[in-house]
Structures are given as structure tokens and as C-alpha cells.
């Protein structure tokens, strides 16, 4: 009789643990979705003919890489210095060239007060 009770208790605990683990996985999925939504609020993704990347919506920094070849086709991380009259891209990873199409995408999105008039 005692062995039977232990087996029943073990199965109940085992099922309870499986249920808890399933609940934890559901909550982790919800958290990942929320983190992604928060990221989308802070960044915008872009895609040009040959490159894709992200830029922070406050235009403080961004990254890009070649769509087909990834880092091997050209990539970079950069900061964007923005003031009242101009903006400039500051290299942060030693990849000094930024593709023209990425620059033009930024030029179309970044506005400074002096440039708006």
C-alpha cells in the first residue's frame, strides 16, 4: 500500500512539474514577444537594394550588412552625431566606408532643424 501511494504521489508531482514547465515556456514566449515589440519601438529596420540593418529611432546609432553576403559583403556599426545644423556618421568598428545606398536612406530619414527650412 505504501509503495502504491509513493507511486501516485510521484506521478502527481511529475505531472505538476510538467505543467509548471509548460507554463514557464508560455511566459518565456510572451516575454520574447514583448522584448521584440519594445525593440521595434526603439529601432526601425531598413532594407535597400543590397543592404539591410537597423537604426535607433533617435538616430543615435545603427548597423548594416550586405543582404546576400552578410558581413563578408560589407557591414558596419556606426554612431550618428546630430546637432542643429548637420549630422554625421561616426564609425565604431573600423569599417570606414558606408555604402551610398545606406547613406542615402539615412539622408532621407534624418532631419535637422536647419535642413528643414
Is 89:78 a contact under the CB 8 Å cutoff?
Answer: yes
Same domain (yes/no): 104, 67? yes
pTM, full prediction: 0.58
- Residue 95's closest CA among 65, 59, 67, 51? 65
Residue pLDDT, tens place only, 52-99: 998 888 888 888 999 998 888 888 888 888 888 888 888 888 777 888
Question: Where in the sequence is the domain holding 106, given as residue range(s)?
Answer: 48-116
Q: Please report the pLDDT score of residue 117 as a whole number.
A: 47
Sheet containing 61-66, strands listed edge to edge, beginning at the edge strand earlier in sequence: 43-47, 51-56, 61-66, 70-82, 87-91
Same domain (yes/no): 33, 89? no
> Residue 103's CB: how many other CB atoms inside 10 A?
14
Set of cell numbers at residue 29: 514566449
The alpha helices in 43-93, defined as continuous H runs, are none
Is 105:46 a contact under the CB 8 Å cutoff?
Answer: yes
Same domain (yes/no): 57, 17? no
Same domain (yes/no): 38, 80? no
Amino acid at each position: 500500500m505504501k509503495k502504491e501511494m509513493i507511486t501516485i504521489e510521484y506521478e502527481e508531482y511529475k505531472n505538476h512539474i510538467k505543467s509548471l514547465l509548460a507554463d514557464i515556456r508560455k511566459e518565456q514566449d510572451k516575454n520574447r514577444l514583448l522584448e521584440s515589440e519594445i525593440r521595434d519601438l526603439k529601432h526601425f529596420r531598413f532594407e535597400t537594394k543590397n543592404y539591410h540593418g537597423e537604426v535607433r529611432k533617435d538616430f543615435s546609432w545603427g548597423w548594416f550588412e550586405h543582404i546576400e553576403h552578410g558581413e563578408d559583403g560589407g557591414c558596419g556599426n556606426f554612431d550618428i552625431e546630430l546637432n542643429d545644423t548637420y549630422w554625421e556618421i561616426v564609425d565604431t568598428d573600423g569599417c570606414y566606408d558606408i555604402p551610398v545606398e545606406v547613406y542615402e536612406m539615412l539622408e532621407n530619414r534624418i532631419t535637422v532643424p536647419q535642413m528643414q527650412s
